[in-house]
Amino acid sequence: MSFSWAKHYEPKSDLTKWLDERLPLPRLVYGAIGGGYPVPRNLNYFWNFGVLAGIALVIQIVTGIIMAMHYAPNALVAFDSTEHIMRDVNWGWMLRYAHANGASFFFIVVYIHIFRGLYFSSYKAPREMIWLLGLVIFLLMMATAFMGYVLPWGQMSFWGAKVITGLFGAIPLVGEPIQTWLLGGFAPDNAALNRFFSLHYLLPFVIAGVVILHIWALHIPGSSNPTGVEVKSESDTVPFHPYYTAKDGFGLGVFLILFCSVLFFAPNALGHPDNYIPANPLSTPAHIVPEWYFWPFYAILRAFTFDFFIVPAKLLGVLAMFASILLLFFLPWLDRSPVRSGNYRPLFRTFFIILVLDVLLLGYLGGAPAEEPYVMLSQLASAYYFAHFLIILPIISKIEKPKPLPFSITEAVLGKDSSGSVGGPALQPAE
Amino acid sequence: MAEQVTMNQDGTAAVESDGVRRRDFINIAAVSFAGVGGASVLIPLITQMAPSKDVLAQASTEVDVSAVQPGQAIKTVWRKQPMFIRNLTPEEISAADKVDVASLRDPQSLADRTLPGKTNWLVTLGVCTHLGCVPLGAAAGEVKGEFGGYFCPCHGSHYDTAARIRKGPAPKNLEVPEYEFLSDTVIKIG
């Protein structure tokens, strides 16, 4: 694990020496996120988002555990207990707004983290496992966010639960029994609310576990970098602490300013007013959409309005929506270009920008009503999404002529003149 | 089965029969036993999530429809799901009968979807067969869609006066539950 020049943990006091011989936990932390983890010296601010996602998870777990002390998962009182948190519990309004907007910010940083990985091809060998584990985290996040949104038991909660569990009803033959089994009834009710609460409490800790695997897998090849050229010598790296703890600290400050701006000045901007109406099984809200972070996938789901051969439109939409994420699991083997960084791949870079715009368009369309021209645009944008990964990417990796790569990270940073310093003295942390 | 007794170096006897040793059998039997036992423990862990007895106990409901005039509809609840009971006008019945059944996505005639002699009473679940929203069109003043029946606002499915799917993503007609007339004005659903 890690590079030969990685510094080793040296316990200084008698207490830390005693601990190191019995449970070397400080040694593990030092090697994972301390001075013992050498990191490429040229990381840009896009490399902040992994740490930011980790902090967003901590915010969610802390605010969530506190709210569970005041919330009652029962269909009769769930809505009232949510309002009790908002109106009566000391600082309850802030904790709930932090939790609700924290979910949005978690998705924002994770989406940027994913697109960082797409642009700099962080999924390529030898980092496939990091990418795959990241997708598992993403799927767990989506399940957790969906179940969390059901808990306030407002109109959007109820109808979201109904529509999303209805997705399973599209599966031939076993679909409806599965849906009834998931809900514990024929429609969302107390049984569904209780199990969603139980799982919503559990899954964040499963996410934390997979995050540990994600970081473990990262530390075997080490972090990627904006050139995509692998670390060759000690001069290519700096220790994680203090260099990147400082850089991540700055990024965290910016993140918290943005988070607090929304939390204190526009706490409901990202939510739906309809969720402040108690759940009513007899009345569907006029415009039913999921939370914004599901909109691109919701647009793909709704794009299928026609049957294809014997497959009904409903099943097609569900399959396409799941396929749009499952497809990403195959990405390391779809993009065969040996060059990692999009900075050196002019054709790839163009199509990457189109993909980003396409996903943003899908996001807009997923939040729009189910009528023309949105339906037709969803169909085109969905088709392009799949074409990017299945057709365009494999072709680009064959026909593209990449720009010349720098010899090393050091050369990319300091220019050719300094390439003699490769293997020279390492940078030392400022004292 | 030719059994062969040989002596091991430590002097214990080992019985071999066609290469399968007594210990292999014990291993397979023990692991199988534990596997079947472990798997059977999953049954209560999985089926606890299925509808409980009190949920299943609300299986049928009785509705008085004497106040529903032709052209009107009421919403009621059966198994925690909305039900639409609609008293069709003669025009709505003839509109439904005019449609060529073979041309439909889910081919059913109005007669298939109602009880004999009671074709004006259309009893369906108020659950869109796409993803389970409640379609509009039962209450007065609601949008009835392009075919004069029901319209689902979630993803734009249009149902006709026999609540058959005509346009949009839903794969099936609105479901007709099992029901009977207890008298001329009381329907028992379920």
Other CB atoms within 10 A of residue A210 CB:
15
A392 — pLDDT class (breaks 50, 70, 90): very high
Question: CB–CB of A284 and B154 under 8 A?
Answer: yes
Number of domains in chain B: 2
Catalytic annotation present for A8: no
Domain housing B116? 55-189
| Residues of chain A above pLDDT 70, percent | 96
pLDDT, residue B12, reads 55
pLDDT, residue A43, reads 95
Half-sphere exposure at residue B180, Cβ-oriented, CA atoms within 13 angstroms: 3
A421 — pLDDT class (breaks 50, 70, 90): very low
Kindly state the average pLDDT of the residues B93-112.
86
B13 — pLDDT class (breaks 50, 70, 90): low
Tell whether A159 lies on the interface with B, counting CB pairs under 8 A: yes
Distance CA A17, CA A20 (A): 5
Are residue B102 and residue B124 in the same domain, yes or no? yes
Beta strands B20-21 and B179-181 are unpaired
Window 334-373 of A, Cβ < 8 Å to B: 370-371
Catalytic annotation present for A219: yes
Are residue B119 and residue B150 in the same domain, yes or no? yes
Are residue B30 and residue B101 in the same domain, yes or no? no
Mutate to test the interface with B, among A197, A289, A305, A372 (most CBs of B within 10 A): A305
Q: Which residues of B touch A313 (CB under 8 A)?
A: 169, 171
pLDDT, residue B106, reads 86
pLDDT at B3 over 70: no
Question: CB–CB of A184 and B55 under 8 A?
Answer: yes
Question: CB–CB of B49 and A166 under 8 A?
Answer: no
Q: Which residues of B touch A191 (CB under 8 A)?
A: 49, 51-52, 55
**pLDDT tens-digit readout, A154-196:** 999 999 998 888 888 888 888 888 988 999 988 899 999 999 9
pLDDT, residue B18, reads 67
Question: CB–CB of A184 and B132 under 8 A?
Answer: no
Q: Nearest 5°: CA angle at A427, between A425 and A428?
A: 110
- Cβ atoms of B182 and B66 within 8 Å: the answer is no
Q: Which residues of A touch B168 (CB under 8 A)?
A: 305
pLDDT, residue A65, reads 96
Residue pairs spanning A and B at CB distance below 8 A? 94
Active-site positions of B read: 155
Look up the CATH number of the domain holding residue B151.
Answer: 2.102.10.10
Kindly state the average pLDDT of the residues B25-46.
93
pLDDT at B72 over 60: yes
Average pLDDT, chain B: 84
Are residue B70 and residue B21 in the same domain, yes or no? no
pLDDT, residue A228, reads 93
B4 — pLDDT class (breaks 50, 70, 90): low
Tell whether B77 lies on the interface with A, counting CB pairs under 8 A: yes
Residue type at A104?
S
Give phi and psi for B127, each to the nearest 5: -125, 115
Q: DSSP secondary structure string, A192-218?
A: HHHHHHHHHHHHHHHHHHHHHHHHHHH
Closest chain B C-alpha to A311 CA, distance in angstroms: 10
Nearest to A3 by CA among A346, A215, A236: A236
Are residue B130 and residue B160 in the same domain, yes or no? yes
Are residue B156 and residue B107 in the same domain, yes or no? yes
Q: What is the pTM of this model?
A: 0.86
pLDDT at A423 over 50: no
Tell whether B51 lies on the interface with A, counting CB pairs under 8 A: yes
Kindly state the average pLDDT of the residues A367-380.
87
Are residue B99 and residue B171 in the same domain, yes or no? yes
**pLDDT tens-digit readout, A208-242:** 999 999 999 999 999 999 999 999 999 999 999 99
Are residue B87 and residue B163 in the same domain, yes or no? yes
Are residue B31 and residue B116 in the same domain, yes or no? no
pLDDT, residue A378, reads 93
Distance CA A316, CA B86 (A): 32
Look at A375 and A71; give whichever has higher pLDDT: A71
B11 — pLDDT class (breaks 50, 70, 90): low
Are residue B110 and residue B133 in the same domain, yes or no? yes
Tell whether B190 lies on the interface with A, counting CB pairs under 8 A: no
What chain A residue is nearest to B142 in terms of C-alpha separation?
A286
ipTM: 0.71
Are residue B37 and residue B87 in the same domain, yes or no? no
Residue ranges and CATH numbers for the domains of chain A are: 43-421 (1.20.810.10)
Q: Which residues of A touch B170 (CB under 8 A)?
A: 314
Are residue B85 and residue B142 in the same domain, yes or no? yes
